[in-house]
Amino acid sequence: MGFPQSDQPHPVAPAAAPSPVSNRAAAMAELRRLLPRLGQDRRHGRRQEPLPFGLPTIDSHLPDDGLARGALHEVVPATEGSIACAFGFIAAILARLARARPLLLIIPRHGLRPYRSHGRLHGHGLDTALGLDPARLILVETAQRKETLWAMEEALRSQAPTAVMAAIDTLDLKSSQRLHLAATDAGLPLFLLRPAPNLDASAAATRWRIGTAQAARDRFGLIARPRWHLQLERCRNGRPGEWVVEYDHVAHRFSLAAALVNCSRARGADEDAIAQRRRA
């Protein structure tokens, strides 16, 4: 895959300094300055803005302070009972995207027995619980795994949807590389729901493990806001982390419900995150 062509010459990194340490620091600084240019959308010649959560505590763990648009992102249920909440997490992200184009959802009818046990999509639930208008969705059902892979690639290459979301039972490294490259070329995010028992090596930019958390309730005991236990297991050019967040489906906004005080998993928490944890 080649880099975008430009009539302007690329900036040249400064000459190497005598000291290896200073030279390495200068090279890293120059790479951070140039990488956003290399992440431009090929078709339109402009940079694709990331998808931030709106929470500095989480966004600071991601490159460019948000989820990359042109990339494959894996979402893994922490347990079989967490499949619905893992899907809800993806739906909440999709609900925050621009409404100019539709969202494509690919649901296979093969090899996903645990997924089928949770029933089919419910438009009213998507709208009232997660703020995702079902009219924005184009639903595709596939009968075989190869059809699922074909549908994902073709949807990305068409550049018609705002984002693509799919579920699949198994995925090898080569297939994940093809999907990630297709998402990169299209400048579109691909969210892939994957069952936990079958995780192979992957080219995904991020891998999220989603678990259940006790929902926020109103004074009548009814669920006011869903909550998820997020674990960022892998993040290319970023850092792992772990949080409990809740989601306001009316404002389409995430907020921090609780932050784990595990320095090995959530390093770099800022003062705002600490204050929110104390108030929780």
pLDDT of amino acid 208: 97
Of the chain, the percentage scoring pLDDT greater than 70 comes to 71
Exposure of 252 in the CB half-sphere (CA atoms within 13 A):
15
Question: What average pLDDT score do residues 83-91 get?
Answer: 93
pLDDT of amino acid 37: 45
Q: List beta partners, residue 207.
A: 74, 234
Domain count along the chain: 1
Residue with tokens 């949080």: 243
Domain hosting 181: range is: 59-279
pLDDT exceeds cutoff 80 at 25 = no
pLDDT in tens, 215-240: 888 788 777 888 999 999 999 999 99
Q: 214 in a domain, yes or no? A: yes
Q: 5 in a domain, yes or no? A: no
Q: 196 in a domain, yes or no? A: yes
pLDDT exceeds cutoff 80 at 97 = yes
Cα gap 74→117, rounded to integer Å: 21
Structural tokens at position 67: 């989820």
| Residues whose CB is less than 8 angstroms from the CB of residue 134 and which lie 6 or more positions away in sequence, other chains included | 121, 123, 126, 127
Backbone angles phi, psi at 211, to 5 degrees: -120, 170
Q: 35 in a domain, yes or no? A: no
Q: List beta partners, residue 232.
A: 208, 241
* Full DSSP string of 202-263: ---SEEEEEEE-PPEE-TTS-EEE-EEEEEEEEETTS--EEEEEEEETTTTEEEEEEE---T
| 68 — pLDDT class (breaks 50, 70, 90) | very high
Cα gap 64→38, rounded to integer Å: 13
Q: Which of 107-111, 156-160, 168-172 has the lowest mean pLDDT?
A: 107-111
Cα gap 164→183, rounded to integer Å: 9
CATH at residue 230: 3.40.50.300
DSSP state of 52: -
| 100 — pLDDT class (breaks 50, 70, 90) | confident
Question: What average pLDDT score do residues 68-81 get?
Answer: 93
Structural tokens at position 56: 């500095």
Q: 27 in a domain, yes or no? A: no
pLDDT of amino acid 147: 92
pLDDT in tens, 188-218: 999 999 987 778 789 999 999 999 988 888 7
pTM for the structure as a whole: 0.75
Q: 263 in a domain, yes or no? A: yes
| Residues whose CB is less than 8 angstroms from the CB of residue 183 and which lie 6 or more positions away in sequence, other chains included | 70, 71, 72, 156, 164, 189, 190
| Residues whose CB is less than 8 angstroms from the CB of residue 117 and which lie 6 or more positions away in sequence, other chains included | none
Q: Which of 16-25, 80-89, 155-164 has the lowest mean pLDDT?
A: 16-25
Q: 202 in a domain, yes or no? A: yes
Average pLDDT of every residue of the chain: 80
Q: 162 in a domain, yes or no? A: yes
